[in-house]
Structure 1
C-alpha cells in the first residue's frame, strides 16, 4: 500500500496547486504568440491591400503561388543563408579568440572585458548608423581616411560590398555575445586537467585542440543555436545602411517581407512570406535543438 498523502497533522498542510499562479503568465504568453500567428495565417490566404480597402477576399494559395513565383525570393533566401552563415562563422571564430585572450591574466583585464562585451548592448540602429557614417562612409569615414593616407583606393562599402558590409556590422554586435558565453565556459575548465596535459607534453595548439576545444563544444553549439534564431530576423541594419540594395543585393527574407507589405502594400503576400519564414525558422530550430540534446547526452 502506498503511504497516504501528507496532511495537516504531518506539518506540511494540504497540497496546493500552482496552476492558478501560472495561468496569467501562460495566458499572456499564448496571446502574445498565438494571436499574431493566427492573424498571419489568416492574411496569408486573403487579398489585402493597404491602399485600396475594396480589394479583398479569400484567395487560398494564391499569395503563396505569387511568392514562390517571385524571382526575388531565391535571391533573398540565398542572401539570408550567406548572412547568417557568415556571421555565425565570424562570431564563433573571433568570439573564441577573444575568450581565450581575455581568459589570460594581464593588466587592465577587467576594462578589456568590458570593452569587448560592450558592443552587444548597442542598439542595432545606432550601431548601423555609426558604421555607415563614421567608419564606412566613402568620403568622411575612418576607413576612407586610412585608405587615402596609405595611397590605396577608397572602397564604397555599401555600394561595392553591400551584404558583406551588413555582415560586418551584425558580426560586430554578436561577437561579444559569443565571447561572453565561451569565456564563461572557459573559466569552468578544470585547471588541474590543463596542468596534467602540460606535464604530458601538450603545448599550444595541441593543448587547445584536445583539451580546450572539446570542453567548449557544448557552449559553441548553444551560441550557434541562439544566434541563428536571432540572425534569421536581421532587419534594422539593412534598413539603415543599404535598404536592401543596390537592387536586391542585400535583400534578405525579412526585408523582402517588409518591402512586400509596406512598400508594395501587399499584406497578403507579405503574410505568406512571414509563414515561410516561420516554417524555415522552426526547421532550423528543430535540428539545432536535436544537436544540442545529442551533445548534452554525451
Structure 2
C-alpha cells in the first residue's frame, strides 16, 4: 500500500515536467503538420490556403529531393566509416601506457566540445582555403598546386569536417569498452602464441561490437540532421553537391520563403529519421541480446 502511494506521489510530482516536455514537442510538430497542408508563402501577403497533399507531392517529386537523400546517405556513411575505424585505432593507441597519456586524451576529446559552426569556419578558412590555408601552404612547400577542397571535393570536405567533430565521441566510447576487457584473456592468448592481429580479431573486436553498435546508432541519429557545417562552408553547393535533406528543408522554407513546402519537407525528414532510428534500435537490441 505504501509502495503504491509512493508511486502515485512520484507520478504527480513528475507530471508537470512530463506535460511541459510533451507540449514542447507536440506543439511545434502539430504546427509543422498543419502548415504542410497549406499554401503559405512568407512574401505572398496572402493568408494560408488549404492545399491537401500538394506540398508533399511537389517536395517528393523535386529532383533535388533524390539528390539530397543520396547526399545524406553519403555523408552519414562516410562519417561513420572514418569515426568507427579511426575511433578503434585511437582507442587502441590511448589504451597503451605512455608518457603524457592524460594530456593526449584531453587533446583527442577536445574537438567534440567545439561548436559545429566554429569548427566548420576554422576548417574552411584556416585549413582548406586554397590561398592562405594550411593545406595550400603545405602543397606550395612541396611545389604542388594547391587543391580547392570546398570547390573540387565539397562532399569529401564536409565529411572530413563532421568526422573530425565526431571522432572524439567514438574514441571515448570505444576506449571505455576496450578498458573493460579482461586483461587475463589477452595474457592467456599471448601465452598460447597468438599474435597481436589474432588477439585483436578474435578477442578485442568481438568485445567492441556492442560499443561500435552504440556509436553507429547515436551518430546516425545526429548526422541525419547535419546543417551548420554545410551552411557556413558550401551553402549546399556547388549546385546541389552538398545539399542534404536538412539543408533542402531550410532552403525551401527560408530561402524560397515557402513555409508550406518547407513544412512538408520537415515532416518527410522526421518520418525518414524515425524509420532509420527504429531500424537501428532493433539492430542494437538484437546485438545486446546476443
TM superposition score category, shorter chain reference:
over 0.9
Partner in structure 2 of residue 271 of structure 1 = 263
Tell me by how many angstroms 1:15 deviates: 4.1
Q: CA deviation at 1:205?
A: 1.1
- Pairwise CA distance, 1:53: 2.9
2:26 maps to 34
SS of aligned partner of 1:216: helix
Q: Structure 1: which 4+ aligned runs deviate by more than 3 Å?
A: 12-16
Rounded to whole Å, the distance in 1 between the matches of 2:39 and 2:6 is 53
1:151 is paired with a residue of what secondary structure?
coil
**What per-residue deviation string (whole Å, max 9, x for no partner) do you get for residues 151-204 of structure 1?**
112111110011110110000000000000000111100011111111122121
**Equivalent residue in structure 1 for 2:163, among 171, 177, 196:** 171
Whether 2:58 is the aligned partner of 1:66: answer yes
Greater share of residues in helix:
2
Tell me whether 1:291 sits opposite 2:283 in the alignment.
Answer: yes
Q: 1:65 to 1:145 in 2, by over 3 A?
A: same
SS in 1 for 2:39: coil
Higher mean alpha-carbon deviation, 112-121 vs 200-209, is at 200-209
Distance in 2 (CA, whole Å) between partners of 1:280 and 1:100 is 35
The corresponding residue for 2:87 is: 95
Please, which of 160, 183, 189 is the counterpart of residue 191 of structure 1? 183
In structure 2, how many angstroms separate the alpha carbons of the residues matched to 1:216 and 1:124?
28
What is the distance in 2 between the residues matched to 1:16 and 1:64?
A: 45
Residue 213 of structure 2 corresponds to residue 221 of structure 1: yes
> How many Å separate the matches in 1 of 2:4 and 2:34?
49
TM-score using structure 1 length: 0.95
**Hey, what does 2:99 align to over in structure 1?**
107
**Structure 2 equivalent of residue 9 of structure 1:** none
CA RMSD of aligned residues (A): 1.3
Residue 60 (structure 1) shift: 0.4
Tell me the matched-pair count. Answer: 289
Partner of residue 39, structure 2? 47
**Partner-residue secondary structure (3-state), 1:79:** helix
Measure, in 2, the Cα distance between the counterparts of 1:49 and 1:210: 59
Give the distance between the partners of 2:240 and 2:187, measured in 1 at CA. 54
